[in-house]
Chains A and B, each alone.
Chain A
């Protein structure tokens, strides 16, 4: 099979998955009791006259048959504007257009920090198995996996704010191109917060991969041939561990998207997670649906890229 047909097949399967995701989300949202009207008015709905309730229902599109709602959303999505937010009357593509870059930037930086922590500690640990370097790395990974990100985030925010009077994210988010320095400060701490969990997972797979590789015959052969140890580390171990790390990173990137939801709440970043939570609270179905679809698409695309990378490194996997 050529790389090309592999890619085409994966993309077709991705479209099928995304379609399924949109249906699942639609069904789950239909399970939510209440609608945009009751979400906005609460018990004060009782104060309105029937004519007013009818006007509101029309405004929010309440009472439209579900299938019709799904297809009008699908149509809007395929034509690119992703529908209109019920709560704010903005086009969903505008809302996502401003939220997505924030989340992507956050995920990217968290990934970078996670890779630095994970690969760094993982390699050091694997090269000194059973020694204190390894124990330290293992200890860090145990805590990285066990400490929920919101505890790290909370401690960071509260401590920085009340001791150093420093909380850059609370100034109102600025884009990277508006003010790179402030933008970096705003992203830095949430990214560090998120990177612990990612780093811990990457560290585990790095360590395992390096250990496995260094036990293989070619590694012994290379050392036996008198290749300098440093060159060996870089050329062989690192490259061979790369595959494992890439796979793990792909998986972690998917989880990162989920992790941004809470972290954006704590660090006041106007990203996709915050958009999602406020949309769920307002029963703003088109926004929830589109945000979810984008999260899912991100997850699926990353996985395809990882597979693609895998395939190129190790053509045998293409056969599966």
Chain B
């Protein structure tokens, strides 16, 4: 047998070569990793940028990425207050039917041209065109006229007084584009904005790269290049962060975030969305308010949140966050109250309980089934039997839109302005009144009162009344809001994950690497 050195030698040779290769690879990497930090900043996300036209995007990473390149007339600051963006000031006429925006001077688009009122007019008009299919066009549906006035003003004419216009205008979907690019039809191919970064490169499904804008009116960012890289799993994002190849990782899964070593600071913000059990109140069992209240009181939100997102969230009412956030989260049962639940059941004439079916879609919200199962066992303690039907996304969407359900676990987008958030569900003629399943003049009036409130105190009162109205009637069962997370490399300074969705990465303009 000793004569077989040939093969054995070959095998061990190959093994040795691969080991040497692996080892020297490691050395090489260590040195190149330190050289890679500089002013290139890499962001890792499981999502990928799908479109370059800011007025048509719907994917959250598209918002975040294009939000670095484009700007809006007004924007939110980190305290979720409206602050100047491309407009430095604005006034509303006494009758509330016209708004005048004064534009910032010396703002340059990436193509070198200067921002003019004509650009704003062309941009907002484009957003209103049906052919653009701008998902945020409804925010400015009350705008009937957009006109330039003088060299630096834009006037919006409104069909009725509408204080939610300002919140609407913060959307990246209503970004200001250069009029020349609109007429040339190059928006979807070549981003050209006024923001802190200049579009550099986009590789579909892989990466989106921007470079610092030397002409930015707010000052040139310190980071030379920001690359938003698609990393398909959150585990790999965590690995890339620890390997030093990315500086910022975006996470949604608490299971992954909880494993990141402590020397990588983790920031969290509440999602601008909320989980709720929507009830169809117009017909059937839930048309009885006491039946709905029984469900609300039998629900243990903490347990549901624990089972669904390992407690990484916050129990919320109808207005999940912002200055008007609902507290306490429910006017009848902020926490589980089985005694009260039984009382409501008795009042509804169903002392032994009842049964109903709730739909979920784990394709749309992977935690929805876990929420449903937790709630199922809670409701069972008072005799309410909840059947669960888990649907594929398309089936769920069509049933949801048609209001074809008794109860639906939903993950609904929120807005800092309660009117924007609920006008479409509970307002008169709201586009989503069918899935909302509840019509009440009282609620409609409360919404209008909030929208048209002249002072901050009046608005606060109005929105408090709306919250009480919605939870007191148990229109839906609002559950919780989960966190999303950003983990940073130890050498990142000055980054603050913004609580405002679609501009979470806005502080990259002020971020430095040490």
Contacts and interface: CB of A to CB of B under 8 A. Distances in A.
Given A43-B400, A98-B203, A157-B236, A34 B394 contact: yes
Interface in A136-160: 154, 157-158, 160
Contact of A43 (B1, B138, B401): B401
Nearest to B4: A127
A293 interface: no
A47 B420 CA distance: 12
Contacts of B6: 230, 233-234
Q: Most chain-B CB neighbours within 10 Å: which of A90, A165, A170? A: A170
Interface in B209-235: 227, 229, 231-233, 235
A3 to B, nearest CB: 33
B11 interface: yes
Interface stretch (B128-136, B349-357, B376-384, B478-486): B128-136
Interface in B1-52: 1, 3-4, 6-8, 10-11, 14, 18, 21-22, 25-26, 28-30, 32-33, 36, 42, 44, 48, 50-51
A320 B137 CA distance: 67
A60 B216 CA distance: 35
B455 to A, nearest CB: 30
A38 B393 contact: yes
Interface in A6-48: 33-35, 38-48
Contacts of B4: 124, 127, 229-230, 233
Contact of B236 (A33, A49, A124, A266): A266
B84 to A, nearest CB: 28
A233 B7 contact: yes
Contacts of B465: none
Contacts of A277: 232
B203 A41 contact: no
Contacts, number: 190
A270 interface: yes
A227 interface: no
B387 interface: no
B168 to A, nearest CB: 12
A222 B47 CA distance: 63
Interface in A260-317: 264-268, 270, 274-275, 277-278, 282
B244 A165 contact: yes
B204 A90 contact: yes
A167 interface: yes
A87 B14 CA distance: 45
A33 B26 contact: no
Given A44-B135, A157-B239, A270-B203, A166 B30 contact: yes
Nearest to A154: B235
Interface in B428-444: 431-432, 434-435
B413 interface: yes
Given A127-B4, A170-B245, A46 B435 contact: yes
A168 interface: yes
Contacts of A90: 204
Given A44-B413, A89-B188, A160 B395 contact: no
A7 B30 CA distance: 51
A124 B4 CA distance: 9
Interface string A111-134: 001001000110110011000000
B68 to A, nearest CB: 18
Contacts of B395: 33
B492 interface: no
Contacts of A234: 6
B104 interface: no
B157 to A, nearest CB: 20
A157 B233 CA distance: 12
Contacts of B134: 52
Contact of B394 (A33, A268, A282): A33
A200 to B, nearest CB: 16
B397 interface: yes
B364 to A, nearest CB: 6
A56 B33 CA distance: 44
A44 B3 CA distance: 74
Contacts of A282: 50
B239 A59 contact: no
B394 A124 contact: no
Contacts of B229: 170, 172, 268
A124 B261 CA distance: 44
A161 B424 contact: no
> Which 7 residue pairs of A and B lie closest in terms of their CB atoms, listed nearest first?
A34-B394, A167-B243, A51-B130, A170-B240, A33-B394, A161-B239, A88-B204
19 contacts: A33-B394, A42-B58, A46-B435, A48-B133, A49-B137, A53-B133, A88-B204, A120-B14, A124-B4, A161-B242, A164-B29, A165-B244, A167-B239, A168-B245, A182-B32, A185-B28, A264-B232, A266-B232, A268-B236
Given A173-B206, A266-B233, 9 more contacts: A33-B392, A43-B397, A43-B435, A44-B413, A123-B7, A161-B239, A170-B236, A172-B42, A265-B233
Interface of B: 1, 3-4, 6-8, 10-11, 14, 18, 21-22, 25-26, 28-30, 32-33, 36, 42, 44, 48, 50-51, 58-59, 130-135, 137-138, 188, 203-207, 227, 229, 231-233, 235-236, 238-240, 242-246, 261, 364, 392-395, 397, 400-401, 410, 412-413, 424, 431-432, 434-435
